[in-house]
Amino acid sequence: MASVACIGECMVELRQAQGGHSAGPSSSGQGQGGGLYSRGFGGDTLNTAVYLARLEVKVDYFTALGDDALSDEMIAAWTAEGVGTRRVVRLPGKLPGLYMIQLDANGERQFFHWRDSAAARRLMDLPETDELLNSLMSYDIVYLSAITLSIYEPAGRERLFAAIKRARLLGTRFVFDTNFRARGWPDRDVAREVFAAAFAAADIVLTSTEDLLALYPGESHEQLMARIPSPELVFRLAEPVSLLRFPGGTSKVHAEPMTRPVADTTAAGDSFAAAYIAARLGGSDPVEAAQAGHRLASLVICYPGAIIPGYAMPPKKRHRPAASRQATK
C-alpha cells in the first residue's frame, strides 16, 4: 500500500461555540464578554493526515508532543482516525501549542496562536531526530507545509531538507503545501528564502493566490507560477478554480458549483491536499486529482470545524492502483 509521511504540528484548538452554547464542562470555557469556546485539536498537516486516512491512504504523522493528558487525547484521536502515531515523539514536561479561531459572518477565519514553547518545535533537534529523518525514505510521499517549516530553526530546516533530498534519491516524492501564515515568520524575506528552497526540492507544489500574493504582492498568476520550478504544480485561485502545470501539459480545473451554504472555510486547502495526494497515489492524472481535491474541499467547507463527521465523507472511489513508487511520477 502506498504510504505518506505528514510532518507538522497539532495544537489545542479553541473555537467560538455555535450559538453561544457549551459542548460540556470538559470541552468549553467562558470567554471575555460571555462568549463560549469549544475545545478540540487541529493543525494543517494533521488535518490532511486525517483526510488521507479516511481516503484509505496509509499515513504516519511526524511530530513531537508532551507527556500530558491533552497529548494523550491527541494520540487516541489520531489512532481512532487511522493515522499512524509510531513517529510521534513524547517529550516529558512539554505541552502542545494552543490556537484560537474566530469566524466572521462569511465563515472566514482569523487565527491567534500560543506556541513558542510547544513540543513540536523541537522535533528537528532531538536524540530521535536522525532515526525519524532516515525513515522518510521508506515512504512514497513526504508531505509538509510552510507552517511546518516555520516552527523549526534554520538548522532544523536544513536538516529536514537534506533528509528529504536523500529520500528522493530512492524514489520518495516531496509534496510542499505553501500554507502561509505571516505571524509564523520573523519577516517575509526569511519566508521567501525558505519557500525558494522548498520549491527547488519539491516534486509537487500545492499553492494558492492567497499564499503567494502575501509574499509577492502585485505579481500576476504567470509570474507567481514561474517562481516555482517543480514539475507538478497546483495553483488555486481566489475563485474555485485551479491552474495546473505538469509534465506534458497545463490545464484549468473548475470546482463544481456549490449547492449548500459555506459554514467554515477551515481545512479547505488541507482537505484538497489530501484528496489530490490520494488520487495521485491511486493512479489518477493531475486533472482528475484536482477535481477530487475540489470535490472534497467543497464538502468540507459546508461543515463547522476542520474535520467533518465521518458519515459526511463522500463515497469512496476506487482509483487505478499504482504499480510502484515511480508509477505516478
Long-range contacts (CB closer than 8 Å, 24 or more residues apart) made by 124-131: 124/152, 124/153, 124/155, 124/156, 124/157, 124/159, 124/160, 125/153, 125/155, 125/156, 126/64, 126/89, 126/91, 128/89, 129/159
Residue 29 has pLDDT above 60, yes or no: no
In a domain, 319, yes or no: no
Residue 270 known to be catalytic: yes
> Is residue 317, in this structure, part of any structural domain at all?
no
Instruction: Answer yes or no: is 327 within a domain.
Output: no
Phi/psi-derived region of residue 20, left when phi > 0, alpha when psi is between -120 and 50, beta in every other case: left
How high is the pLDDT of residue 109? 67
Q: Is the per-residue pLDDT at 323 higher than 70?
A: no
Q: In the predicted model, is pLDDT for residue 270 greater than 60?
A: yes
**Pairing of the two strands 173-177 and 204-208:** parallel
Contact 27, 38 (CB under 8 A): yes
How many domains is the chain built from? Answer: 1
Question: What is the extent of the structural domain holding 147?
Answer: 3-312
Rounded to two decimals, the pTM is 0.89
Question: Positive or negative, the Cα torsion across 242, 112, 299, 311?
Answer: positive
Residue-wise pLDDT for 233-269, tens only, equals 999 999 899 999 999 899 999 998 888 898 878 889 9
Query: Which CATH number goes with the domain that contains 48?
Result: 3.40.1190.20
In a domain, 321, yes or no: no
Q: Is 198 within a domain? A: yes
Residue 328, in any domain of the structure? no
pLDDT confidence bin for 223, thresholds 50/70/90: very high
Rounded CA-CA distance 210/214 in Å is 6
Specify if 143 maps to a domain. yes
pLDDT at 117 (0 to 100): 86
Catalytic-labelled residue, pool 104, 189, 270, 285: 270
Average pLDDT score over residue span 153-163: 98
